[in-house]
Amino acid sequence: MDVKLRLLTAILAAFFLIDAPNGVQARPIELSEEVLKSYLKDGVPQYDQVNLNHHKATTALSQFNDQYVLGIGAETTLSESDDPRESIWVKQQQIGVQQTLPYGVSGGLAYIYRYEKFSAFFGPEYGLKKFYLPSLALTFEMDLWKNLLGSLDSTKVRHIKAMIDKSKLNKKLELKKLHNHMRALYWRLVAQDRRIQIFKNLVATARRGYRNMKRREADSIADDGAVAEMAANLSSAEANFRKSTIDRNFLERDLKVLVPTLQTYTIRVRDNYVGVRRAVAESVNCSRAIGRMTSIPYDYTEYDELIRAVDDELRLKSEELDSYDDPDVKLSFVGRGFGLDEEWSEAAGQPFALEKSAYEAVLSVSVPLGLDDTEKQLVRNEKMNASILRVRLAAEFKASHSNLQKNFAPLAEAVDLYHKSIRDQEDAFKTTERKFRQGRISVFDYISSQNTLLNSKLQVLGLEERLILEMLTYYSIFNQAPCSFNRKS
């Protein structure tokens, strides 16, 4: 029964692509460059991360502006004392002069407030307390050094806007790089399918040779050594076929990690080796214009704009950090007017409507000690980040462009020479295979001719794949290059 169940499961897996261990149906999907591009915005974690990073930058400005919105506050007070010296009248006299709260008074306080972008804080308040009605106050605070008239806040706003500009540009560049990474995985899958086909044909050829040698052995024409050599050749071909299949599974896994929505699919690619040849020809045509350039085409890249954006952000960040160890000098002012309530003042034996007013002005100065080194370190860190990016991008500009100019044309010529060689080798192998069937050449000569043709096919495929990947890498840096193979993301 177990044998029949396993057989039935294998049949279902073959026809309906059922994953036997998990029982999950894997539907086939045929991908092309255009189809894969449509998945770029469909649950790709790296795409979402790029958008999230940009959203964080834009949120920073909203978060900064939120401190200037109008607010409403409320307080409640309850105090009591048995000390006759702290009578209502004594404290009422004191509050008129010193702005202290009276003992034996309960009540509430409501106020509105707002921080202004010119570095000031103000807010009128209205208080309802026993014995004192009403109490009106105006509070005003202002920075006289670090943020005089909002100078530091203005720098922070310009710094945040520079961050947003840099993030917007970085988002565009990162999405272009992600799109080209997806395209690279696609063409690697197409090339791998070609390798699988090459090894599949090799297995069929090796199997025919092995059967031929077995017949010769039966007719006492070939010895055991020749049969063993053909068997080893067949085993090697089958091993390479299995390995190429496994390598494709790894590529499919990488694509599914990049695009999780493809997890439930079995991936097929629309393009075949003809598509590879077409992509190579398109890349070669694009490279010819690049090869004629005498200098690095900065007009074809937006990374130089990113460098300028980083420099602008660094300049504004440095201005902001310049105040890190500055002293704090603040001025605060509170003015208040109040009077006695009629009902409670009569009960307390005090005259009614004794209006009072008071104000308080405070100038505070604090000087931090030992922060100069920290400020210098913060500025140094920011400059180092910008310098690292600048050096890295400059290296990528030069390396990508010079590499394409020096190596692309020779690689393309090597591909053409390999194809010419393969055509000659295929004709030669047909002759070799016929002579082998006739027993006119040795097993070693037959296998040697077969392996030479195999290696040439694999070599040219590797070079073609490299040409495509090199061009995609180039377009990840020079993202504005006017070329048909530089697809829009």
pLDDT in tens, 174-189: 999 999 999 999 999 9
pLDDT at residue 75, rounded to an integer: 59
pLDDT at 3: 41
Q: What is the mean pLDDT of residues 258-273?
A: 92
Residue 267, pLDDT above cutoff 80 = yes
pLDDT tens-place string over residues 162-176: 888 888 888 999 999
pLDDT at 316: 81
422-444 tens-digit pLDDT: 999 999 999 998 888 888 888 88
Domain range list for the chain: 1-30, 32-60+159-313+376-477, 71-143+328-366
pTM (whole model) above 0.95: no
The rounded distance, in Å, linking the Cα atoms of 12 and 110 is 75
Confidence band (pLDDT; 50, 70, 90) for 266?
very high
- For residue 310, pLDDT beyond 90: no
The pLDDT tens digits for 339-359 are: 545 554 444 444 444 556 667
Q: Which of 119, 103, 108 is nearest to 67 (CA)?
A: 119
pLDDT tens-digit readout, 217-265: 787 777 888 889 999 999 999 999 999 999 999 999 999 999 999 998 9
- Residue 194: pLDDT above 60? yes
Would you call 422 exposed, middle or buried from its count of C-beta atoms within 10 A (0-12, 13-18, 19+)? middle
What single-letter DSSP state applies at residue 110? E
Query: What is the per-residue pLDDT across 286-295, written as a single tens digit (0 to 9) for each?
Result: 888 888 888 8
Angle among Cα 389, 395, 401 to the nearest 5 degrees reads: 130
Q: What is the pLDDT of residues 28-63, one digit of tens each?
A: 999 999 999 998 887 788 888 888 888 888 887 777
140-154, 200-214, 380-394, range with greatest mean pLDDT: 200-214
What pLDDT, on a 0 to 100 scale, did the predictor assign at position 27? 87
80 vs 462, higher pLDDT:
462
The pLDDT of residue 10 is above 60: no
Rounded distance, CA 126 to CA 122, Å? 14
Tokens of 153: 């806040």
The predicted structure's pLDDT at residue 259: 93
What integer pLDDT is reported at residue 321 of this predicted model?
A: 72
| pLDDT at residue 193, rounded to an integer | 97
372 burial level (CB within 10 Å; 0-12, 13-18, 19+): exposed
Question: Phi/psi of residue 353, each to 5°?
Answer: 60, 40
Q: Kindly report the CATH class assigned to 32-60+159-313+376-477.
A: mainly alpha
Mean pLDDT, residues 120-136 taken together: 48
Residue 159 is predicted with a pLDDT of 82
Q: What is the pLDDT of residue 99?
A: 35
- Position 7 confidence tier, pLDDT thresholds 50, 70, 90: very low
- Report residue 25's pLDDT band, with 50, 70 and 90 as the boundaries: low
The pLDDT assigned to 231 comes to 92
Q: Are 186 and 31 in contact (CB under 8 A)?
A: yes
